[in-house]
Amino acid sequence: MPVYPFYQVDAFATRAFEGNQACVMPMEAFLADDELLKIAAENNVAETAYLVPQAEGVWALRWFTPAVEVPLCGHATLASAHVLFEAGGYAGDVIHFDTVQSGRLSVRRLADGRLEMDFPSAPIRPVPVTDDIVAALGARPLEAWGGMFYAARFDSPETVKSLTPDVKALKTLGAEGEGWDRGNFGCFALGGEGVDATSRFFAPGSGIDEDPATGSWHTMLSRILATHFGLPEATCQQAYPGRGARIDVRLEGDRVKLTGRAVTVIEGQFRL
């Protein structure tokens, strides 16, 4: 019976029950895709990250939701680096991850214990706010952009927090980004409780009605905030009901730095 190390981590969190859940499973080699997807469905959290060592300080990394493999995932990358630093005994300051669709990603351990991720930040473009999207979201955005996802700006953090979208309708709508299907919506407003922007992320197109803390979404949000609102550095709050997370972002050309913390909540073995 094959046995694999298993870690469940709350990412973009300072304690248990905050941020977003990710499972991290180091392996000597990737299993077949259908096996990886079955494991992710069994874990039944937003993403399961699989790690395979490549060289000193370098791991191959793939991410699966319970429904699909995704081209980029921030919180599960943060969780993976956290596991390698804390449980894997990696003594260096920087971990490199080689990914299938997002190239090389790096995570640096800062002096204060936070982890800083270096991610790509894809271009954005204005897109229309259509009546079917308004109906599915249950409120009318002020404006919207396409890129990796459909990004909708609302008038206030209170409007964002009160959204109750029709996720079944959202699944077939929105912007079709590079490597992503429709049905992935970032909804945000400027301001909030001590932050520059407040957002939520609905992802029925990736098999998740709402994601609690989404690093990939913040690579897009960072570009919007820098390009259109003069905020190349920003503190953001993802306002998932009952959990939520704060994510610091800094846009640097075509890259973005995402900073946060993580905590391990479960450690054990996965038996196939």
Nearest alpha carbon to residue 264 among 98, 110, 108, 78: 78
Pinpoint the alpha helices (H) of 128-236.
131-137, 157-161, 167-170, 215-229
For residue 91, count other CB atoms closer than 10 A to its CB. Answer: 8
* CA-to-CA dists, residue 148 to 1, 33, 119, 191, angstroms: 40, 23, 13, 23
Angle, alpha carbons 60-63-68 (nearest 5°): 140
Compute the distance between CA of residue 225 and CA of residue 214 in angstroms, rounded to an integer: 16
Residue 141 near residue 153, CB atoms below 8 Å: yes
Helices (H), the chain: 33-43, 74-86, 131-137, 157-161, 167-170, 215-229
Chain centroid, CA 34 distance in Å: 22
Strand partners, 198: 189, 237
Return all residues near 231 (Cβ < 8 A) that are at least 6 apart: 196, 197, 225
Contact 157, 198 (CB under 8 A): yes
Pick from 96, 114, 29, 88: which is nearest to 56 by CA? 96
Residue with tokens 């995932």: 73
Q: Which residues are catalytic?
A: 47
Among all chains, which residue has been given the structure tokens 């990886």? 36
